[in-house]
């Protein structure tokens, strides 16, 4: 059974920085894509940053230049470096992956982390 385990959320001030981590545990065979979404109260879940199947990076327009997604393929991990956050970035951040595990092969399956709260104060 694959699980996505997130860490690194918390309270940060504008002008500060925060780093989110997500590691996939279990019998992962291959990744299709992996990244981060967020959901603020009363709003729909939205993409923040993601690695595409070709290894490229896509960012939500408001975070470009401030947030950076990176990964460690050896650890099945993805990270989100949040620099100069804004109160509008306050949300629950979710790790997401479309991957193939031993139990789902040859099909891809979608997985979500439990979410980590990020609160940005001005």
Which helix (H) or strand (E) is 114 found in, with range?
Answer: none
| 3-class DSSP assignment, residue 38 | strand
Nearest partner of 78 among 2, 1, 7, 28, judged by Cα: 7
Per-residue pLDDT of the chain (122 residues; tens, 9 = 90+): 899 999 999 999 999 999 999 999 999 999 999 999 999 999 999 999 999 999 999 999 999 999 999 999 999 999 999 999 999 999 999 999 999 999 999 999 999 999 999 999 99
Q: What six digits make up the tokens of 114?
A: 């439990």
Query: CB atoms < 10 A from the CB of 64, how many?
Result: 11
Cα R_g (the chain), whole angstroms: 14
- Contacts for 6-9 with beta carbons within 8 Å, 24 or more apart? 6/93, 6/94, 6/95, 6/113, 6/114, 6/115, 6/116, 7/116, 8/116, 9/93, 9/116, 9/117, 9/118
């Amino acid at each position: 059974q694959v699980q996505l385990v997130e860490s690194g959320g918390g309270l940060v001030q504008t002008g500060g920085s925060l780093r989110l981590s997500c590691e996939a545990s279990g019998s992962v065979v291959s990744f299709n894509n992996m990244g981060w979404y967020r959901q603020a109260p009363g709003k729909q879940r939205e993409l923040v940053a993601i690695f595409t199947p070709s290894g490229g990076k896509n960012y939500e327009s408001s975070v470009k230049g401030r947030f950076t997604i990176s990964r460690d393929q050896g650890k099945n991990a993805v990270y989100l470096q949040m620099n100069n956050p804004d109160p509008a970035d306050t949300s629950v951040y979710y790790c997401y992956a479309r991957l193939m595990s031993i139990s789902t092969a040859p099909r891809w399956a979608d997985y979500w982390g439990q979410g980590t709260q990020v609160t940005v104060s001005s």
